[in-house]
Structure 1
Amino acid sequence: MNARGPVADRLLPLTGLPVLPVSVAEAGRARELAARHGMTSDLAVDLTDAVITRVERLAAERDRPAVTDRHRALSYAELAAEARRLATLLEESGVEPGTVVGVGGERCASVIAAFLAIELIGALYVPADETWPAARVRDVLGQAGASVLLTVDTGASAPALLEGAAAAGCTVVRAERAAACAPWAGPARLDSLDRPRYVLFTSGSTGKPKGAVVEHQGMINHLYAKIVDLELTGADVVAQTAPLGFDISVWQMLCPLLIGGRVDVIGDEVGHDPVAFARAVDAQGITIVELVPTMVRHLLDDLAGAPAGSLGGLRWMIATGEELPAELSRRWLEAMPHARLLNAYGPTECSDDVTHHTVTAGDLELLRLPIGVPIVNSRLYVLRHEDDGTWSACDLEETGELFVGGVCVGRGYLGDPQRTCDAFYQDPFEESPTGRLYRTGDAVKLLPPGAGGDARPTLQYLGRVDRQVKISGVRMELGEIEAVLQRHPGVGAAAVVVHEYSA
């Protein structure tokens, strides 16, 4: 497979995926149980819009603030204009539909404009975090097949970012050059809903990161899931806090732009200081925040002596990336009764979150909190691996492995058919000819109605079935760390274990 060719040529077609070994009878039973227990969700959502199209439509109706960062504020019209100038710059740099564009540098409003520019010309976005070492930048951009790295920094970019881009053979293009470009003309190139939209890299057990490819329909569906479940309106302000390499950065950047809301980009200097972060939330009128539970704990610890009314405008705190402890949830509900707490769960391979659960006092009696029910247009199956190699469906309170179906499921791993076949299957539970099923590797069980604070059955996360762990929200394969250690000539063998401790 040519690493510089169109992404479509480096993705395994549906016909190349394995068929999940499940009998016809068990497939029918799995469908019936999922429907009965509310593990399927259907909602008519318009997946045909590009985000940039929606931004321009809202700008024409009534221009308003769209994105703010520590340097500047952009209205919807200004954001759209910058995106179109960047699109021209990218085309002049040789970017074509279906190719991959790296975006790197400080998190700022220009990253969002760059995403929209890439969407306009029908290319794919792959982020390169400015904090990564050069080797990681090289591996990500090289495996993605990016020929261009668009840097959004107004000053000098991180040396490791530039070194890694050079090692990957990328031409570095500075976003500030777009100021001299004419706006790109024409509608966004969206010829099909399954057009790949972005690729994000996760940990791999071989020492090589895996590039998960997400389609347009999966991305848009997830954005609308957030709008529906959080009851977002044009009055909401979402904090963009996640590093660019995290899947949650995508919805934080784009979701408010579908409804006339605002994105406030909070840099690491403020985001890593709980007191400064709380001040920023109050000062910027932020209503929606998403953090890993570790950061939620630090926030509560450092705000213990803060003035009354801190975070008073917050409507939602979303916890994701790590298991949310019941004890931490109790502290949040007591300290911030005005701000609801959402436990979100989902893999990068499925366009980010696939379940949401609003935590209530009743949940706190459980040893482990529910992760909830499926987002819109997603299907969840709890399956047990039998001794004969087949899979069977689990009923209430039976432990199994979670499989995800629906439009949220991505296209697999870029240029990696073997690892794609290890995790993705043709969906045996739906009649759709393009249906895919993703094996999460997570052990779960269905809690019966009334368990915790929900009158419906809900999913409970029980841990991994493999050696993957999460540290501060970052997915890590212990095998990947071992593989890298064993590259050193002085290391004959390596074993990695995780120990939890309290600071």
Structure 2
Amino acid sequence: MSISEQDAVAALTPARRTVVHARDRVRESSREAPGAVCHALCVRFTDTVRADARDGLAKRFADLAAGLAATVPVFRRTARLWPQAVPCRSDAPDAERWRERELARPLVAHRDAAVRAVLLTYADEVSELVVVAHRGALGATALHDFTAELLGQAPAGGAVPRPDGRRPDTAPAAGLADCHFDVQLDWGLGRPQGPDTTATRLLTLPDDHPAGDTGSWTTALGIVLARYEGLTRPVLAALATDPSDGHAVEGVALVPVEADPATTLAAADRQVRAALADGPAWYTDDLRRELADTVGESEPVVGLVVHDHRPAGLPGTAPVAHRPFQRAPFPVTLSVTHDAGERLLRCDFPARRMHDDIADQLLRHVRRVHRALVESPDTPVADVELLDEDELREVAALGRRTPAPSFEPERIDRTIAALAASRPDAVAVSCDGTRIGYGELDHRADLLAHALRGIGVADGDRVGVCLERSAELIVTLLAVLKAGATYVPMDPAYPQERLSYTTGDAGLTTVVTDHAEFPGGDGVRVIGTAELAELAPKTCDGPPASATGPQDPAYVIYTSGSTGRPKGVVVPHVNVLSLMAATTEDFGLGTDDTWTLFHSSAFDFSVWEIWGCLLTGGHLVVVPYWVSRSPEEFHRLLVQERVSVLSQTPSAFAHLLDVERDGGEPVPVRLVVFGGEGLEPRMLLPWFDRHPETACRVVNMYGITETTVHVTAQTVTRAEALAGSKSVGHALPGWWVRVADPEGRPLPVGVAGEIHVGGAGVAAHYLNKPELTEQRFRVDRLTGERLYRSGDKGRLLPDGRLEHLGRLDNQVKLRGFRIELDEIRAVLQDDPLVASAAVVLNRTDPDDPATAQLDAFVVLEEGDDTAAVRQRAAKYLPEYMVPTTVTALDRMPLTTNGKLDARKLPAPAPAPRPEPRVAAPAPVKAEPQDAAGTGNTAGEAPQDTFEAALLEIWQEVLGVPVGPDDNFFDLGGNSLLAMRVGAALRRRGGATVSMRDLYMFPTIRQLVAVRAE
């Protein structure tokens, strides 16, 4: 490019700056994607075309084509009309094949003319004229005008280019070969592993559907995409006319659609037309960056090709077909065209990106919005309804598959009492060698219920329970229910401030705890389990009288709140009974099952574990805290107790997988239930290797505290795991789900939005938070039922299953790009080297946005090659999504509820740097450490192999010199590093160290001594 040309380009706006290389672009686009830049028209002559008429047609075509070539210097070839005799009748099937072949045969700019015409003459003397043009020479209107003038008619759009109307070399043309859109169309529900084929769906526009143009159809499509993608300013691509060109040459225009709910359809349409008036622009890296910085919200994946006018009725001809393109120019291309006299809305798409049903749905919604725009332009965008009445009913039915099973509502404690009466000697609860039968459990709870009544607990009171996991915890919880009260569980590991806040917010006057330093406060009676037992009568004939019923609260569980203060969720007895009625038969739950209580009673997963087991007559094995922290001890417990029903968060289950992978005996479970957090199903592949699907059923359940633990259930198979399915299944019988937009309107199938939950599990309210209750617990405007707005992101699949996509706010923005951290995590998790992964957005300098980076943390199956993990991720992720650092951990830090504790992730490892190749130094014997440095006196050698192993592992884990009398935690150790020590010892095949021992005996000398005993 010359200096003067560079100056001229610099003077242009960024959008226009990209069109100056039209000549090369046309050549490249024709060479790379000729079908995408060509369109075609076919008309049929109603009378026989005589020889002299053919000659005249050929001469006019040659003149028009010569004039066109002179105005578009790229196209230099001489064009002529090609006559073609077709050896079949015009109404024969072969005739259609001939016609389609000509309509689909593209032009190539560097070897063809700008336009081609073929006159097909069939055996019955019927003739059809097929005209194919490059959009860099003739746009849609110009193609029709060219054909009209060729047939001796006056063109509707103005004169066809003549040699004296030469266009400059820099005129824009269809740069469709540059539109390499790399966007995942999540709502398309395509088949990523399916065949790489292109599909087409058609929707006939009725005769009364209003006519439109590129502007109106672009606005309609933009409004639909805004709803589909949850944006207020989606960007789409359209073939638009360059306003500086008098001959309707088309190029790609990137059009932001202002779809703010407060604006009107007419206002949105005006803005679209203003954007189209700027003309087309090449979709280059510069423009892509400009979009990220300014337009910003989305990268176009859907494009429009519009010519929404019936071909003019030309004397002696009838329109047959118009092909707006020969190969779809955009990943998903909508077009308005005509075929055999019908006006059509068409969608071309790759099967890997979009399901046929979703394409049909998209067409219906664009048609619906377009009609609203033309007929009611003052309608606010917020009031536009995508779904008609039939679709609303269909979507509602998809989310409500099975009615609630019939059962007699009752209180939890009374149902368990009935079971105890029928089988009093069956084991109900066991913990640390203590076993309690159903009869004893029921009787002891009766006695404690009388004791609670004796200290002033009345019907409807809330009683705090702050106990470690034990058999006594289960007896106490049941006793609170038998007293007609509501239990409020608190974890003894919680900080004092949280315990104090919960006590005050719940209005507790009684707290049962053995926590010596529980912050009770004024007006709160804090009583230990032994003291409460002493206050109980020696005998009793059943529980105390109570007027509370199944609709009254059974428990209040506090969950984290967006304000930083926990909020109490009030859940009635009947909700828990409904949960069991919905799952018992499907899961085959019964008296032969042995369950575990693995989770804190302050985590709602415990509701499922405790009452799910006892309400179905099973044996509940209480897992002590320290056993739950030690994968090896937990594994032994599962084997010893022959546990058959195991409930786990995926993060906790990953540790159990480690034990089995390291040689542990397969556990005897027949049912694994996941909940509490999202499941990456690929992590289960090693499990299926050792536990066939026929022997153990794996169920992924989605749920929320506010909807009584579980809402949906998805049986996970090896096929689901291999596919990386995000499905959490269908709604449980009696529950229903819906996906809605921010205004609460149901969204179509495949479109992501907020998950709304209704039915039997919806909690009563938030305790003492009426405004929050009103905000989150709503009355469904369609059915009048209560529902809960979850704040979770999801979408419905065509078969009614729900996909859980994380939190609505689980997005970050980095250098203008919106990033779903779960997507990066899924790619890392799919690496054969990676057992589990987490990704966070950090800033090395909190005050400098330029230092923001993605940091990944991984647990590796073996070795420590994080560089290989990052290199593999770079193969599957765009550059801006590849983590800057990858840090290897032995285990992910977990909260007391078994979820990932991102706050306890260590500082990320430095980004890998290439090391210079140098010769390895000769081995040097290590000098003993100085006493002042570590406490390891000079010359003091390890006494046995166990001590030597601990010294080596501690130094490796802590990254500092270590002596036998150094305190692990004083050197910077924590629970995560303690898990690393245990895992490293286990992998060496020797003796390991439990978390409990390490906390009680935090020096190597002490641990060696304990082992010696």
- The Cα of 1:341 is off from its aligned counterpart by 1.3
How far apart in 2 are the matches of 1:22 and 1:444?
Answer: 23
Where in structure 2 are the equivalents of 1:261-276 lying within 5 Å?
A: 261-276=618-633
- The Cα of 1:317 is off from its aligned counterpart by 1.4
1:171 is matched with: 525
The aligned length equals: 440
2:758 is matched with: 405
Confirm or deny: 8 A CA contact 2:794 2:802 kept in the other structure.
yes
Larger Rg: 2
Identity %: 30
Q: Deviations over 1:350-378 (max 9, x none)?
A: 11110111101222344442111111211
Name which of 809, 816, 820 aligns with 1:466: 809
Name which of 45, 58, 61 aligns with 2:422: 61
Equivalent residue letter for 1:314: V
1:137 is matched with: 499
Equivalent residue letter for 1:88: H
1:33 is matched with: 394
Confirm or deny: 8 A CA contact 2:556 2:571 kept in the other structure.
yes
1:457 is matched with: 800
2:328 is matched with: none
Question: Is residue 117 of structure 1 aligned with residue 479 of structure 2?
Answer: yes
Q: 1:29 to 1:113 in 2, by over 3 A?
A: farther
How far apart in 1 are the matches of 2:762 and 2:491?
Answer: 25
1:501 is matched with: 857
2:1002 is matched with: none
Q: 1:29 to 1:195 in 2, by over 3 A?
A: farther
Q: Could you state the TM-score of these two structures normalised by the residue count of structure 1?
A: 0.80
Name which of 441, 445, 451 aligns with 2:795: 445
Q: Deviations over 1:388-409 (max 9, x none)?
A: xx43322322222110011210
Equivalent residue letter for 1:466: D
Confirm or deny: 8 A CA contact 1:65 1:262 kept in the other structure.
yes
1:91 is matched with: 453
Confirm or deny: 8 A CA contact 1:34 1:40 kept in the other structure.
no
Unaligned runs of 5+ in 2: 1-381, 812-820, 823-839, 841-845, 859-888, 890-1013
Equivalent residue letter for 2:429: V
Name which of 311, 331, 335 aligns with 2:690: 335
How far apart in 1 are the matches of 2:402 and 2:766?
Answer: 26
Q: Could you state the TM-score of these two structures normalised by the residue count of structure 2?
A: 0.41
Confirm or deny: 8 A CA contact 2:410 2:549 kept in the other structure.
no
Confirm or deny: 8 A CA contact 2:726 2:805 kept in the other structure.
no
Confirm or deny: 8 A CA contact 1:427 1:436 kept in the other structure.
yes
- The Cα of 1:191 is off from its aligned counterpart by 4.2
- SS across alignment from 2:761: coil
How far apart in 2 are the matches of 1:77 and 1:417?
Answer: 41
Question: Is residue 324 of structure 1 aligned with residue 686 of structure 2?
Answer: no
Q: 1:248 to 1:111 in 2, by over 3 A?
A: same
1:209 is matched with: 566
How far apart in 2 are the matches of 1:377 and 1:179?
Answer: 40
Where in structure 2 are the equivalents of 1:272-291 lying within 5 Å?
A: 272-291=629-648
- SS across alignment from 1:149: strand
- The Cα of 1:316 is off from its aligned counterpart by 1.2
- The Cα of 1:439 is off from its aligned counterpart by 0.4
Q: 1:406 to 1:47 in 2, by over 3 A?
A: farther
- The Cα of 1:38 is off from its aligned counterpart by 5.0
- SS across alignment from 2:520: helix
2:555 is matched with: 198
How far apart in 1 are the matches of 2:728 and 2:679?
Answer: 9
Structural RMSD (CA) = 3.1
Confirm or deny: 8 A CA contact 1:89 1:177 kept in the other structure.
no
Q: Deviations over 1:6-57 (max 9, x none)?
A: xxxxxxxxxxxxxxx9999979667623454253431323252223222222
- The Cα of 1:249 is off from its aligned counterpart by 0.6
How far apart in 1 are the matches of 2:611 and 2:783?
Answer: 30
2:775 is matched with: 422
Q: 1:246 to 1:254 in 2, by over 3 A?
A: same
Confirm or deny: 8 A CA contact 1:103 1:149 kept in the other structure.
yes
Question: Is residue 246 of structure 1 aligned with residue 603 of structure 2?
Answer: yes
Equivalent residue letter for 1:326: P
How far apart in 1 are the matches of 2:599 and 2:857?
Answer: 24
How far apart in 1 are the matches of 2:502 and 2:853?
Answer: 26
Q: 1:419 to 1:65 in 2, by over 3 A?
A: same
Q: 1:124 to 1:68 in 2, by over 3 A?
A: same
Confirm or deny: 8 A CA contact 1:50 1:190 kept in the other structure.
no
- The Cα of 1:59 is off from its aligned counterpart by 2.5
2:730 is matched with: 373
Name which of 413, 423, 431 aligns with 1:52: 413
Confirm or deny: 8 A CA contact 1:319 1:343 kept in the other structure.
yes
- SS across alignment from 2:596: strand
- The Cα of 1:74 is off from its aligned counterpart by 0.8
Unaligned runs of 5+ in 1: 1-20, 449-455, 471-477, 479-490
- SS across alignment from 1:112: helix
Equivalent residue letter for 2:638: V
Confirm or deny: 8 A CA contact 1:368 1:461 kept in the other structure.
no
Confirm or deny: 8 A CA contact 1:233 1:261 kept in the other structure.
yes
Q: 1:81 to 1:331 in 2, by over 3 A?
A: same
1:482 is matched with: none
How far apart in 1 are the matches of 2:810 and 2:457?
Answer: 39
Q: 1:90 to 1:332 in 2, by over 3 A?
A: same
Confirm or deny: 8 A CA contact 2:399 2:736 kept in the other structure.
no
- SS across alignment from 1:165: coil
- SS across alignment from 1:37: helix
Confirm or deny: 8 A CA contact 2:464 2:503 kept in the other structure.
yes
Confirm or deny: 8 A CA contact 1:22 1:392 kept in the other structure.
no
How far apart in 2 are the matches of 1:331 and 1:399?
Answer: 31
- SS across alignment from 2:758: strand
Name which of 563, 583, 588 aligns with 1:231: 588
Q: Which has the higher contact order (CA 8 A, sep 6+)?
A: 1
- SS across alignment from 2:410: coil
How far apart in 2 are the matches of 1:27 and 1:175?
Answer: 60
Q: 1:205 to 1:58 in 2, by over 3 A?
A: closer
- SS across alignment from 2:609: helix
Confirm or deny: 8 A CA contact 1:425 1:436 kept in the other structure.
yes
Confirm or deny: 8 A CA contact 1:101 1:118 kept in the other structure.
yes
Confirm or deny: 8 A CA contact 2:450 2:543 kept in the other structure.
no
How far apart in 2 are the matches of 1:108 and 1:84?
Answer: 18
Confirm or deny: 8 A CA contact 2:712 2:729 kept in the other structure.
yes
1:80 is matched with: 442
Confirm or deny: 8 A CA contact 1:128 1:141 kept in the other structure.
no
Equivalent residue letter for 2:787: L
How far apart in 1 are the matches of 2:545 and 2:680?
Answer: 43
How far apart in 1 are the matches of 2:728 and 2:796?
Answer: 10
Equivalent residue letter for 2:524: C
Confirm or deny: 8 A CA contact 2:411 2:550 kept in the other structure.
no
Question: Is residue 148 of structure 1 aligned with residue 148 of structure 2?
Answer: no
- The Cα of 1:328 is off from its aligned counterpart by 0.5
Confirm or deny: 8 A CA contact 1:346 1:354 kept in the other structure.
yes
